[in-house]
Amino acid sequence: MIGNAGSNHEPIVMYQDREILAEALPYFDSLWVADHFYGFDAKTDPFLEAWTTLTWLAARYEHIELCHHVLGHGYRPAALTAKMAATLQTLSGGRFVLGIGAGWREDEYAAYGYDFPSPLVRFGQLEDVIDICRLMWTEDEPTFHGRYFSIDGASAPPLPNPVPKICIGARGTQIGLPLVGRKADRWNCSYLGADDWQMRHDVVRRAAEGAGRDPNVIEVGTTVERPLPTSDVESEKLLEELTVMRELGITHFTMDFGHPLSAEPVHRFAEQVIQVMRGE
């Protein structure tokens, strides 16, 4: 959902819902929606709000996991985020994963009148948000006083069951990745080569061990951003690249294909890449 080419200025998720998703989703494990308020090619491109869109998709497509890619925590108050997550987890029958990060698009924050503090502060705030979420998902009247955010008896009934997993999107070695190691159930990070990945993964693992956690419990994922393969050769090349990533410990691939105009290349990708990766 990051472009508008070919959709005749229709929100891309609506175009894909009509033309592609029903055929494509049986191949995939999860469905992710970006958290931005307007597009990147032009501010007038139709770009839908992420929570509303994911809830709409949850109702239309059963049995698929749902996640944001990823929420900017600063767009919504911490306790409201926790309550919204608990609600969507209940309505979806336990299919929601809270994908969340510190936010990065400063112009968007400014346009909407939101504060955009330093990375150190934003990640400190994110840690408070995560703590508040987990308390509000598991206690009837939790109280929390963090460095940046507080709650006092913030009830969020019904408590979600199961408690949503939290996927943190981060790649900074000084602040973001140590937070992943301390707090995340899942981690999503861009892939910039084997050596770079190994270095960042090591930071996560050391932080987890320092927090008394088994680093192997953190599911490791990356986003692959490219068009769908249009030939056997392109499929084979993509398969080779994903296989290398899997050998480095990456177990979840979020595929950002932009805006395919038909389901045909999705079928090719499923048959020549997904099924081979799964050993089907």
DSSP per residue, 165-224: EEEEE---TTTHHHHHHHH-SEEE-----HHHHHHHHHHHHHHHHHTT--GGGSEEEEEE
pLDDT for the residue 1: 38
pLDDT above 90 coverage of the chain, percent? 88
Indicate the pTM of the whole model: 0.95
CB 183 within 8 A of CB 127: yes
Query: What is the pLDDT confidence band of residue 10, given thresholds at 50, 70 and 90?
Result: confident
pLDDT for the residue 128: 98
pLDDT above 70 coverage of the chain, percent? 98
pLDDT for the residue 112: 97
| Closest to 178 measured CA to CA, from 148, 217, 209, 147 | 209
Element (H, E) at 241: helix 232-247
**CATH superfamily membership of 12-278:** Luciferase-like domain (3.20.20.30)
**Average pLDDT rounded to a whole number, residues 162-174:** 98
Does residue 2 have a pLDDT over 70?
no
**Average pLDDT rounded to a whole number, residues 239-252:** 96
Q: Which residue, chain included where needed, has tokens 């050998």?
A: 247
Relative to beta strand 143-145, strand 150-152 is: antiparallel
CA distance 202 to 17: 39
Query: What is the pLDDT confidence band of residue 215, given thresholds at 50, 70 and 90?
Result: very high
For residue 144, the cross-strand partners are 151
pLDDT for the residue 41: 86
Per-residue pLDDT tens over the stretch 117-155: 999 999 999 999 999 999 999 999 999 999 999 999 999
CB 140 within 8 A of CB 151: no
What sign has the CA pseudo-torsion 263, 268, 270, 271? positive
pLDDT for the residue 188: 98
Per-residue pLDDT tens over the stretch 19-49: 899 999 999 999 999 999 998 888 888 899 9
Does residue 3 have a pLDDT over 50?
no
Distances (CA, A) of 22 to 11, 13, 60, 207, 266: 17, 12, 9, 40, 11
